[in-house]
């Protein structure tokens, strides 16, 4: 049987350009696998990736290397992996930004649904609405009123076009029907610096970045954007509790391979991902970051693809309404 | 007394045999990658991060920190010996350090760098131990307008980097700023000056520019006269500092340490200014500014101390607030998170052994570095006795592999060719490369902070003079230009006077 | 000497003006924006203008009566072509040929950039430095570069 498969594949290979790949896939992986992270090292997406890279590497029997290709809201890395050989040796970890890039960047060099094979969802990181320590409003309800009344003086920080904090801000503004001045930064670190220094008023970012500062009282925490309260931040109400049900957002992460990657390779990668998501250490560490792995049904190519296309349709009107497309 | 108790905790952690060993591994590796152009601390730490998974958190962070400041140390070696700076900070050291080497004083130059760095490292570590949290909080008063004004001050003060025409130095700074614009605009994602090359989206690589305008241009200059004279000196005068040298470096080391410590604390990229600022300052206050650029030992002592002090104090915002001042610190934060520690203000209370262990290990690591590097000076200087026709192909090989290995991007290699040619051409026309590099490093920061300040102020440029810190910095900038222009104006007037006579 | 124009000043000034115009032209294609929301073209355009002004100032100074006399000196054409060619060759072939052949040829070219090297000494240099680099970068630092690349029938 195996011989037959090999023969068929060999025949297919002769008529296709992917000759080298077809021969290589049976014993994939034979060399280290690189996961490209579209954001800087040390950030939340990077951390999530590095945490699952270790157990994935044990399952694949090859080293899994994490490479950071930061820039342009993650589209730089997306373009790189979309153009990489479809052999499963270079895959992409991307978050919610994958679903917003087609709208944010009208000239995007790739199509998220067509230029990638989905491997599976990874996790859905909750977000928190926070403000500088001395910002006037004390509760989420007060914040909404305050922002609506002072729309022309309030400033909102985000970590750059396409970053989770940018999207969360758009959704918030769309939910409360108010536009405020947005100050972009290169990553969450500098944005947090200016928030701590009181240079900007408020922002919304993943728990991975904000939990430490909220619990120590360095910043004011208002709400979490999930349906339920979080174990790590039990005092923060959900946005729904605070009366803004339509403002719910999570930074979901998924793994992608270039389009045309052989199904056998995708299968192996999905299996490795699922193993990693059941790893004790991964579960504990995710919990410390205020998140948890997705269910095994969601860590599949099918669920991933369905969710991605649903998210693309969700974000397109919000971004278009805000007119926040990048000028290319 | 609490400080002593804390330092006690730190020493017991740092002097643990395992930690001591990995601290040594870290600084050794750091020195090595610092000496080799191209592979910098960022790449090394990123490569080694996964290995540290299995370590104890304190061991992992001690080693990673060691790589970082070890690389700051090693970076000056190639700058001094072969005019090949691997990082922005050592570009300044190359100016006078390489001149000293050409005069047969590579030994004293290297010793100055080592001693200055050690002193600065010790002082900065002490600052870190005594006053990290309040300093970090004070640094948060620096917003976009303040950074913009600080960078303007840095740029204008750095006219002193050149020993020739002020106009040309300014033009080189602007050229550097323009080159820094290449790549994707961070605010909109628009690719600029990339000619459609995807490889240029993340900008031109600093190391390629530095290796091109300093290293390759210098080799080309040396090839000019090889038939008539031998390049570099064969006679090495002495390996160690003379009594006079010691006297000359004390004040610059002290000033450099102070300047570097202050700038390093600023989380928005103050540390990149430290060595440039120190050089400009030393030249400005020197009684013999004409010796700068011709092998002035003060031009090595000041910047090297400033650089190391800044590297050390740039840990302050990371350790006390959990915010990264530069990519290496971002990686360190990643290391914290991977170890299960949320970086932020809680670390100092929740993880005292880790916090104080890292701080004390920095001092221990600096001691190791000085003990490691001083005996190596003899060896490094021997390197200069290698005939140039053998040495320069090796330099080219290291530069090529080093630049390529940073991102495995061949464009970084082509950039060496382009900047080698441009650098050589401009140097022949009497333009100096150091201001260009400074502009290149600061260009993106200048634009980022200018645009952010304008957004925050809603388009009102008065924000730069209304905010007190920013206003003071701008006033200094104006003063720097006036001081730079006045002597030449006075000289002109004197000349006119003489002619009339 | 008082009337001599400075070749260096005029030439470098003209180069700066040229660079300024080139960057300015490219920058004008990007969105300029307003002072509040500066577009990607705003800052580069300002810099390009500044570059032109400085270039003109340098040319004017070079034309001035009391310009410093200067000379461009000789250019090591053979060395320059071989040296820059060596680096470009390395960049062009590193992925295809791999480190060993690419570096070896590049080093051969670079060594011959010096007239003091003979073909024999260049061969010795290329061999030994290639070996040294493989030892340091591949075995010492495990830099992920292939020793021999896919262009070779190995």
Q: Of the candidates A239, C80, C110, A136, which has an alpha carbon nearest to the alpha carbon of residue B425? A: C80
The total of other beta-carbon atoms located within 10 Å of residue B382's CB is 11
Give the least confident one: A228-237, B156-165, B229-238: B229-238
Q: Rounded to whole angstroms, how far apart are CA atoms A276 and A293?
A: 9
**Pairing state between β A116-132 and A202-206:** antiparallel
**Considering only CB atoms, which chain C residues are within 8 Å of B178?**
19, 23, 44, 47-48, 51
Q: Rounded to whole angstroms, how far apart are CA atoms B177 and B155?
A: 10
Judge whether residue B47 has pLDDT over 70: no
Phi, psi (deg, nearest 5) at residue A158: -140, 165
- Tell me how close the Cα of C150 comes to any Cα of chain B, in angstroms: 16
Q: Which residues, 6 or more positions from C114, have their beta carbon under 8 angstroms from its beta carbon?
A: B223, B226, B388, B389, B392, C79
Hey, are the CB atoms on B192 and C37 less than 8 Å from each other?
no
Q: Rounded to whole angstroms, how far apart are CA atoms C147 and B318?
A: 39
Confidence (pLDDT) at A326: 43
Hey, are the CB atoms on A41 and B343 less than 8 Å from each other?
no
Q: Rounded to whole angstroms, how far apart are CA atoms B272 and B317?
A: 15
The total of other beta-carbon atoms located within 10 Å of residue A3's CB is 7
Q: Which two tokens stand for residue B322?
A: 């959990």
**Pairing state between β A250-258 and A116-132:** antiparallel
Contact predicate B55/B22, CB 8 Å = yes
- Tell me how close the Cα of A115 comes to any Cα of chain C, in angstroms: 25
- Structural domain includes residue A183: yes
Judge whether residue B290 has pLDDT over 50: yes
Hey, are the CB atoms on B171 and C73 less than 8 Å from each other?
no
B371 touches chain A (CB under 8 A): no
Given pLDDT bands bounded at 50, 70 and 90, which one contains residue B490? low
Residues C58 and C82 in one domain: no
Q: What is the domain count for chain C? A: 2
- The residue range of the domain holding A194 is 126-224
Burial level of B51, CB count in 10 A (0-12/13-18/19+)? exposed
B197 touches chain A (CB under 8 A): no
Hey, are the CB atoms on B223 and C133 less than 8 Å from each other?
no
- Structural domain includes residue A90: yes
| Bond preceding residue A29 cis, omega within 30 of 0 | yes
Q: What is the DSSP letter of A74?
A: G
Span B225-238, average pLDDT: 59
Q: Rounded to whole angstroms, how far apart are CA atoms A41 and A43?
A: 6
Hey, are the CB atoms on B405 and C76 less than 8 Å from each other?
no
Q: Rounded to whole angstroms, how far apart are CA atoms A192 and A43?
A: 12
Query: Tokens 């570059």 appear where?
Result: C51
Q: How far is CA B446 from the centre of its chain?
A: 17
Nearest CA in chain A to C31: A327
Residues C53 and C95 in one domain: no
Confidence (pLDDT) at B488: 61
B414 touches chain C (CB under 8 A): yes
Q: Which two tokens stand for residue B320?
A: 């006390």
A158 touches chain B (CB under 8 A): no
Q: Which residues, 6 or more positions from B228, have their beta carbon under 8 angstroms from its beta carbon?
A: none
Q: Which residues, 6 or more positions from C19, have their beta carbon under 8 angstroms from its beta carbon?
A: B175, B178, C51, C55
- Structural domain includes residue A235: no
- Tell me how close the Cα of A146 comes to any Cα of chain B, in angstroms: 18
Q: Of the candidates A298, A312, A317, which has an alpha carbon nearest to the alpha carbon of residue A123? A: A298
Higher pLDDT, B338 or B240: B240
Phi, psi (deg, nearest 5) at residue A182: -105, 130
Region of A154 (left: φ > 0; alpha: ψ -120 to 50; beta: rest) is beta
Residues C59 and C85 in one domain: no
Q: Rounded to whole angstroms, how far apart are CA atoms C62 and C44?
A: 27
Contact predicate A248/A226, CB 8 Å = yes
Residues A145 and A109 in one domain: no
Confidence (pLDDT) at A13: 41
Indicate which CATH number applies to the domain containing A131. 3.40.190.10
Phi, psi (deg, nearest 5) at residue A128: -125, 145
- Structural domain includes residue A229: no
pLDDT in tens, B432-453: 888 888 888 888 888 988 999 9
Contact predicate C83/C113, CB 8 Å = yes
pLDDT in tens, C5-34: 778 888 999 999 999 999 999 998 888 888
Q: Side-chain half-sphere of B248: how many Cα atoms within 13 Å?
A: 21
Residues C83 and C136 in one domain: yes
Q: Rounded to whole angstroms, how far apart are CA atoms A46 and A206?
A: 13
**Considering only CB atoms, which chain C residues are within 8 Å of A67?**
none
Confidence (pLDDT) at B332: 81
C140 touches chain A (CB under 8 A): no
A175 touches chain B (CB under 8 A): no
Hey, are the CB atoms on B421 and C58 less than 8 Å from each other?
no
- Structural domain includes residue A230: no
CB-nearest to C30 from B192, B420, B458 is: B192
Hey, are the CB atoms on B330 and A71 less than 8 Å from each other?
no
Domain boundaries, chain B: 2-500
Q: Which chains lie within 8 Å of chain A at 3 or more CB pairs, if any?
A: B, C
- Structural domain includes residue C21: yes
pLDDT in tens, B394-437: 889 988 888 887 777 888 899 999 999 999 999 888 888 888 88
Q: Side-chain half-sphere of A312: how many Cα atoms within 13 Å?
A: 16
- The residue range of the domain holding C116 is 77-140
pLDDT in tens, B72-91: 888 888 888 888 776 777 88
Residues A315 and A202 in one domain: no
Cα of first residue to Cα of last residue in chain A, in angstroms, is 52
CB-nearest to A218 from B324, B333, B345 is: B345
Confidence (pLDDT) at B155: 83
Query: Tokens 């006036």 appear where?
Result: B482
Q: Rounded to whole angstroms, how far apart are CA atoms A285 and A123?
A: 12
Q: Rounded to whole angstroms, how far apart are CA atoms B97 and B301?
A: 9
Residues C81 and C123 in one domain: yes
Residues C54 and C14 in one domain: yes
Residues A102 and A78 in one domain: yes
pLDDT along chain C (154 residues), means of 10: 68 94 92 84 93 93 68 82 95 91 95 90 94 87 80 76
- Structural domain includes residue A245: no
- Structural domain includes residue C45: yes
B352 touches chain A (CB under 8 A): no
Q: Rounded to whole angstroms, how far apart are CA atoms C21 and A134?
A: 48
Nearest CA in chain C to B387: C116
**Burial letters for A131-140: b for 16+ Cβ neighbours within 10 Å, e otherwise?**
bbeebebeeb
The 3-state DSSP class for residue B359 equals helix
Contact predicate A103/A80, CB 8 Å = no
Q: What is the domain count for chain A? A: 2
Confidence (pLDDT) at C130: 95
- Structural domain includes residue C154: no
Confidence (pLDDT) at B266: 80
The total of other beta-carbon atoms located within 10 Å of residue B461's CB is 13
Q: Rounded to whole angstroms, how far apart are CA atoms B454 and B151?
A: 16
pLDDT in tens, B236-256: 667 788 888 888 889 999 999
pLDDT in tens, B445-477: 889 889 999 988 888 889 999 999 899 989 988
**Burial letters for B255-277: b for 16+ Cβ neighbours within 10 Å, e otherwise?**
bbbbbbbbbbbbbbbbbbbbbbb
Q: Which helix (H) or strand (E) element contains residue B399?
A: helix B388-407
- Tell me how close the Cα of A190 comes to any Cα of chain B, in angstroms: 7
C22 touches chain B (CB under 8 A): no
Q: How far is CA A71 from the centre of its chain?
A: 14
Question: Which of C41, C144, C146 has the highest number of chain A CBs within 10 A, making it the mutation to test binding with A?
Answer: C144
Q: Rounded to whole angstroms, how far apart are CA atoms B236 and B382?
A: 9
Confidence (pLDDT) at B181: 92
pLDDT in tens, B375-394: 888 888 777 777 888 888 98
Q: Enumerate residue ranges in chain A where pLDDT < 50.
A: 1-24, 325-328
Q: What angle do CA A288, B18, B124 make, to 5 degrees?
A: 80
Query: Tokens 């278009």 appear where?
Result: A320
**Considering only CB atoms, which chain B residues are within 8 Å of C136?**
36
Phi, psi (deg, nearest 5) at residue A125: -85, 125
Residues A168 and A313 in one domain: no
Higher pLDDT, B318 or A220: A220
Confidence (pLDDT) at B241: 83
Confidence (pLDDT) at B232: 56
Hey, are the CB atoms on B393 and C36 less than 8 Å from each other?
no
Region of B340 (left: φ > 0; alpha: ψ -120 to 50; beta: rest) is left
Reported ipTM: 0.91
- Tell me how close the Cα of A51 comes to any Cα of chain B, in angstroms: 7
């Amino acid at each position: 049987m195996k011989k037959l498969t090999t023969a068929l594949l060999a025949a297919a290979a002769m008529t296709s350009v992917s000759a080298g790949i077809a021969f290589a896939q049976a014993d994939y992986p034979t060399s280290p696998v690189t996961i490209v992270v579209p954001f800087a090292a040390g950030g939340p997406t990077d951390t999530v990736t590095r945490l699952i890279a270790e157990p994935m590497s044990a399952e694949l029997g090859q080293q899994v290397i994490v490479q950071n290709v930061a820039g342009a809201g993650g589209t730089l890395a997306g373009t790189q992996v979309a153009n990489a050989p479809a052999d499963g040796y270079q895959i992409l970890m991307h978050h919610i930004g994958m679903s917003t890039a087609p709208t944010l960047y009208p000239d995007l060099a790739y199509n998220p649904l067509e230029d990638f094979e989905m491997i599976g969802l990874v996790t859905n990181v909750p977000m928190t609405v926070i403000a500088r320590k001395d910002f006037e409003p004390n509760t989420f309800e007060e914040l909404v009123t305050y922002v609506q009344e002072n729309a022309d003086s309030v400033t909102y920080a985000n970590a750059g076009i396409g970053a989770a904090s940018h999207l969360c801000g758009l959704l918030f503004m769309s939910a409360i029907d108010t536009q405020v001045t947005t100050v972009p930064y290169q990553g969450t670190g500098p944005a947090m610096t200016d928030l701590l220094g009181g240079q900007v008023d408020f922002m919304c970012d993943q728990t991975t970045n904000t939990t430490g500062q909220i619990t120590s009282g360095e910043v004011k925490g208002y709400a979490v954007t999930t349906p339920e309260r979080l174990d790590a931040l039990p005092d923060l109400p959900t946005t729904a509790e605070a009366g803004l049900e339509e403002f719910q957002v999570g930074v979901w992460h998924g793994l992608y391979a270039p389009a045309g990657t052989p199904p056998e390779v995708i299968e192996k990668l999905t299996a490795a991902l699922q193993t990693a998501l059941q790893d004790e250490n991964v579960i504990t560490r995710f919990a410390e970051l205020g998140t948890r792995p997705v269910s095994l049904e969601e860590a599949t190519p099918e669920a991933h693809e369905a969710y991605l296309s649903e998210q693309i349709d969700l974000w397109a009107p919000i971004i278009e309404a805000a007119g926040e497309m990048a000028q290319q | 007394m609490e400080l002593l108790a804390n330092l006690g905790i730190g020493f017991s952690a740092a002097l643990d045999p395992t930690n001591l060993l990995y601290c040594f591994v870290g600084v050794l590796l750091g020195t090595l990658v610092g000496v080799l152009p191209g592979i910098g601390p960022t790449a090394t730490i990123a490569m080694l991060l996964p290995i540290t998974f299995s370590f104890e958190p304190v061991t992992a962070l001690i080693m990673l920190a060691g790589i970082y400041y070890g690389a700051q140390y090693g970076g000056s070696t190639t700058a001094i010996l072969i005019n090949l700076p691997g990082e922005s900070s050592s570009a300044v050291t190359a100016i006078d350090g390489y001149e000293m080497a050409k005069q047969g004083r590579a030994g004293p130059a290297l010793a100055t760098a080592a001693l200055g760095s050690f002193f600065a490292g010790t002082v900065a570590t002490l600052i870190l131990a005594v006053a990290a949290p309040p300093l970090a909080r004070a640094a948060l008063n620096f917003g976009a307008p303040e950074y913009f004004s600080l960078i303007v001050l840095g740029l204008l003060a750095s006219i002193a980097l050149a020993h020739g025409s002020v106009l040309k130095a300014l033009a080189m700074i602007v050229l550097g700023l323009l080159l820094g614009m290449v790549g994707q605009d961070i605010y909109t994602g628009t690719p600029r000056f990339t000619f459609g090359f995807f490889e240029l989206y993340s900008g031109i690589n600093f190391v390629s520019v530095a290796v091109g305008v300093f290293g390759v241009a210098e080799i080309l200059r040396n090839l000019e006269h090889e038939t008539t004279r031998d390049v570099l000196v064969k006679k090495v005068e002495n390996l160690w500092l003379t009594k006079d040298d010691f006297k000359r470096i004390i004040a610059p080391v002290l000033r450099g340490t102070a300047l570097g410590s202050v700038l390093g604390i600023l989380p928005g990229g103050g540390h990149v200014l430290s060595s440039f600022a120190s050089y400009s300052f030393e030249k400005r206050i020197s009684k013999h500014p004409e010796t700068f650029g011709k092998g002035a030992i003060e031009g090595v002592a000041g910047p090297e101390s400033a650089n190391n002090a800044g590297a050390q104090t740039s840990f302050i915002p990371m350790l006390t607030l959990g915010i990264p001042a530069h990519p290496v610190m971002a990686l360190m934060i990643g290391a914290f998170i991977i170890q299960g520690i949320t970086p932020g203000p809680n670390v100092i209370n929740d993880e005292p052994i880790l916090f104080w262990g890292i701080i004390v290990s920095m001092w221990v690591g600096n001691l190791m570095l000085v003990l490691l590097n001083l005996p190596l000076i003899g060896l490094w200087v021997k390197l200069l006795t290698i005939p140039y026709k053998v040495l320069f192909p090796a330099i080219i090989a290291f530069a090529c592999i080093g630049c390529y290995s940073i991102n495995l991007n061949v464009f970084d290699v082509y950039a060496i060719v382009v900047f080698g040619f441009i650098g050589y051409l401009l140097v022949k026309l009497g333009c100096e490369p150091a201001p260009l590099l400074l502009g290149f490093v600061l260009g993106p920061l200048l634009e980022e902070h200018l645009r952010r300040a304008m957004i925050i102020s809603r388009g009102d440029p008065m924000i730069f003079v209304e905010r007190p810190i920013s206003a003071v910095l701008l006033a200094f900038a104006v003063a720097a230009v006036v001081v730079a222009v006045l002597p030449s104006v006075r000289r002109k007037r004197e000349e006119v006077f003489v002619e009339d006579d | 000497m008082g009337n001599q124009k400075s070749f260096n000043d005029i030439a470098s000034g003209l180069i700066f003006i040229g660079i300024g115009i080139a960057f300015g032209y490219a920058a004008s294609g990007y969105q300029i924006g307003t002072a509040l929301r500066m577009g990607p073209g705003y800052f580069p355009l300002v810099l390009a203008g500044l570059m032109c002004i400085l270039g003109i100032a340098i040319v004017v100074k070079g034309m001035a009566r009391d310009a410093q006399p200067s000379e461009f000196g000789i250019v090591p054409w053979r060395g320059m072509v071989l040296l820059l060619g060596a680096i470009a060759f390395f960049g062009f072939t590193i992925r295809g040929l791999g480190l060993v052949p690419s570096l070896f040829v590049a080093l051969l070219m670079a060594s011959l950039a010096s007239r003091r090297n003979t073909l024999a000494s260049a061969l010795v240099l290329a061999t030994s430095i290639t070996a040294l680099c493989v030892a340091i970068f591949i075995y010492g630092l495990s830099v992920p570069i292939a020793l021999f690349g896919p262009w070779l029938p190995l």
